[in-house]
Structure 1
Amino acid sequence: MTTPASDPRRLRGIFTPNIVPLDEKGEIHEAEYRRYIDWLIDRGVHGLYPNGSTGEFTRFTAEERRRTVRIMVDQTRGRVPILAGAAEANVKETLSACEYYAGLGVRAVAIVSPFYYKLGPEGVYAYFREIGRNTPIDVTLYNIPLFASPIDVPTVQRLSEECERIIAIKDSSGDVPHMMRMIQAVRPNRPEFSFLTGWDAALMPMLLVGADGGTNATSGVVPEMTRSLYDLTVSGRLEVALQIQYDLVTLFDHMLFKSEFPEGFRAAVELRGFRFGQGRSPMSEKQRAELSQLREKLRSLLGERGFLDLQTSSPSSRAPDMSEIVRDVVSELKRRGLVS
């Protein structure tokens, strides 16, 4: 008998909502993008998530969004599953994106709740029901109340029971009780339904209350750290996992709150050895100065955690053993006197 934990349909682990590198003209830097994809896979992320908020999907054209996924599918070659952001301006265009990504063979799509026009629960339900009943590919609901109409618990429950193609939710509220209520409402009738958190500062607590993993922006900067946190938490090594979670909060807070999102994450990835260029949103001189200061702080934080001397000039010929990564992280924590 297939158990929920072993169900092959269930999305589990760390899916990276990746930034898109840009060249000096502000166009997609394909060679660097491919190198970055290999680097993330080599360092243990369970899956990739193009066209998310961290990837600035609203600042790219529809064709550019499709291109980022095409490149990723080609470069990944089935090594890890892809959860592609498919949110467009309306249901018709979103379903068209779903059809396109289904044709590429991605595992599932993630669709953000309607944005700009704030909808109530019935409007959100009707929107996703229309998609869920017509999509040719599995759908992950994307709840991010900061930017879009919130998806409440009754709506998640209704959609999970009425639409077989809706298989998961990514929740970026950071609200642990909300996650617990969703799990309680949905799992009895949909045991294979996946729950992912998009709030890095609560990754460990979310896993402990039953979440299956996360779509975490920090995994695009320190994939070794987020993978170790996941492995340690699910294996019950909670003391060490907790120290990594605290470290992750420090990095996350600086990258998220000390500059315009997602520029802090872009700057941090560059410190890992990549050429990501400037994001699509123009910056004032004051913003540039603040980002420069943040970059130096991130250099210090990453250096203290041993993440500036790792080779990133070319993809590794083999993916490292995850036990080696965990041992390295634990060793670094011991060196700093954070665990015994």
Structure 2
Amino acid sequence: MMPGTSAERLRGIFTPNIVPLDADGEIHEGELRRYVDWLIDSGVHGLYPNGSTGEFTRFTAEERRRIIEIMADQTAGRVPILAGAAEANTRETIKACEYYYELGCRAVAIVSPFYYKLTPAGVYAYFKEIADNSPIDITLYNIPMFASPIDVPTVQRLAEECERAVAIKDSSGDLPHMMRMIAAVRPLRTDFSFLTGWDAALMPMILVGCDGGTNATSGVVPEITRKLYDLTVSGQIDAARDLQYRLLPLFDAMLYSAEFPDGFRAAMKLRGFEPGPSRQPKSDVQQLQLAKLSDQLQCLLAAEGFTSQPSGGCKPKPAVNEDEVARIVQTVMGELRKHGV
């Protein structure tokens, strides 16, 4: 552990929450507060506002700060907050870090530079400047589909040189990449956390050494995501595997059947909240697709006992090929054993 890093490393399920909007498209404070209470009561370990699921780019800088203000006030220290602090440049990002530190957040998450795709040297310089000037711990956020990728040598270098860099959130879903990062960094920094943002691989990611995840499904079915984490860390592999495969179709439907994160907003409504419309305008075709998706999501949630079936009923679920599931799991476990996990 580096000097000055005495806090326990980030662990568990941090929810990247949707921000409810009212009929005018403004932040619905009352509904956001109700949602925060529900997430905490449902067992999530922490909250992660102003992330990709929270559509941070669709809010103004002032609104992003207001979201954290509301959530920090409502949370009142019950769970830690990992606050998304990414702005378009280092100066504004550092100002956000300072403000979220004042609000009592546990750490901030900062996405790698976006729009301009930078080289590893540029990514390193960006995070180094922020880490050297931030009063709050920093989580690096790797999401190569939207931003400059963070490679393993860069993570290792930042972990070695910057005591404020305490974690990485990786949303690539790349299991070998995660293993390489853990192998490179953990011997140097026992306090450094590894979080996965890819719900479809939460169980195997934890098995290879991840400390938890920032998982969008936990904003819709926090009961399942939290239980999957608990089963995996306690070594109840068969039960965890079953839950991972039950979570997969819901995650796929929310992620791939609509423009992200509209599927998660639709599912949130089915859990009894009023998310309101996204600020991204939609065509008539998109509105129709969302209506169809809502029925599909309702069937998936009904299968888990969280809601009733839609009026038209649900098609029987296709049978799971247990032999194929076992083969895949054995392959993953074999790879883990090869790497001494």
TM-score normalised to the size of structure 2?
0.88
1:111-130 CA deviation, whole Å, 9 max, x = no partner?
00000000010000000011
Matched letter for residue 124 of structure 1 = V
Aligned twin of 1:133 = 132
Aligned twin of 1:10 = 9
Once residues 265 and 91 of structure 1 are traced to their aligned partners in structure 2, the CA distance between those partners, rounded to angstroms, is 30
Once residues 80 and 69 of structure 1 are traced to their aligned partners in structure 2, the CA distance between those partners, rounded to angstroms, is 14
1:136-160 CA deviation, whole Å, 9 max, x = no partner?
1000000000000000000000000
Matched letter for residue 183 of structure 1 = I
Aligned twin of 1:222 = 221
Matched letter for residue 287 of structure 1 = Q
Aligned twin of 1:281 = 280
Aligned twin of 1:174 = 173
1:191-211 CA deviation, whole Å, 9 max, x = no partner?
110000000000000000000
Q: Using the aligned pairs only, state the percent identity.
A: 73
Three-state SS of the structure 2 residue aligned to 1:190 is coil
Three-state SS of the structure 2 residue aligned to 1:133 is helix
Aligned twin of 1:213 = 212
TM-score normalised to the size of structure 1?
0.89
How far 1:10 moved relative to its partner? 0.3
Once residues 7 and 131 of structure 2 are traced to their aligned partners in structure 1, the CA distance between those partners, rounded to angstroms, is 20
Matched residues, number: 306
- In the alignment, structure 1 residue 105 sits paired with structure 2 residue 118: no
Once residues 116 and 9 of structure 1 are traced to their aligned partners in structure 2, the CA distance between those partners, rounded to angstroms, is 34
How far 1:225 moved relative to its partner? 0.1
- In the alignment, structure 1 residue 242 sits paired with structure 2 residue 241: yes
Aligned twin of 1:51 = 50
Matched letter for residue 234 of structure 2 = S
Once residues 147 and 189 of structure 1 are traced to their aligned partners in structure 2, the CA distance between those partners, rounded to angstroms, is 29
Once residues 299 and 283 of structure 2 are traced to their aligned partners in structure 1, the CA distance between those partners, rounded to angstroms, is 25
How far 1:47 moved relative to its partner? 0.1
Once residues 77 and 308 of structure 1 are traced to their aligned partners in structure 2, the CA distance between those partners, rounded to angstroms, is 30
Aligned twin of 2:317 = none
Matched letter for residue 102 of structure 2 = G
Three-state SS of the structure 1 residue aligned to 2:133 is coil
1:191-250 CA deviation, whole Å, 9 max, x = no partner?
110000000000000000000000000000000000000000000111011011011111
Once residues 77 and 129 of structure 1 are traced to their aligned partners in structure 2, the CA distance between those partners, rounded to angstroms, is 31
Matched letter for residue 279 of structure 1 = S
Three-state SS of the structure 1 residue aligned to 2:227 is helix
1:64-83 residue pairs with structure 2 within 5 A?
64-83=63-82
Matched letter for residue 206 of structure 2 = L
Matched letter for residue 250 of structure 1 = P
How far 1:96 moved relative to its partner? 0.5
How far 1:8 moved relative to its partner? 4.3
Once residues 200 and 262 of structure 2 are traced to their aligned partners in structure 1, the CA distance between those partners, rounded to angstroms, is 18
1:22-61 residue pairs with structure 2 within 5 A?
22-61=21-60
Once residues 96 and 9 of structure 1 are traced to their aligned partners in structure 2, the CA distance between those partners, rounded to angstroms, is 25
Once residues 7 and 295 of structure 2 are traced to their aligned partners in structure 1, the CA distance between those partners, rounded to angstroms, is 43
Matched letter for residue 150 of structure 1 = P
Structure 1 runs of 4+ aligned residues shifted over 4 Å read none
Matched letter for residue 167 of structure 1 = V
Aligned twin of 1:257 = 256
Once residues 259 and 187 of structure 1 are traced to their aligned partners in structure 2, the CA distance between those partners, rounded to angstroms, is 37
CA root-mean-square deviation: 1.2
- In the alignment, structure 1 residue 302 sits paired with structure 2 residue 301: yes
How far 1:13 moved relative to its partner? 0.2
- In the alignment, structure 1 residue 155 sits paired with structure 2 residue 154: yes
1:39-69 CA deviation, whole Å, 9 max, x = no partner?
0000000000000000000000000000000
1:61-106 CA deviation, whole Å, 9 max, x = no partner?
0000000000001000000000000000100000000001011110
Matched letter for residue 24 of structure 1 = A
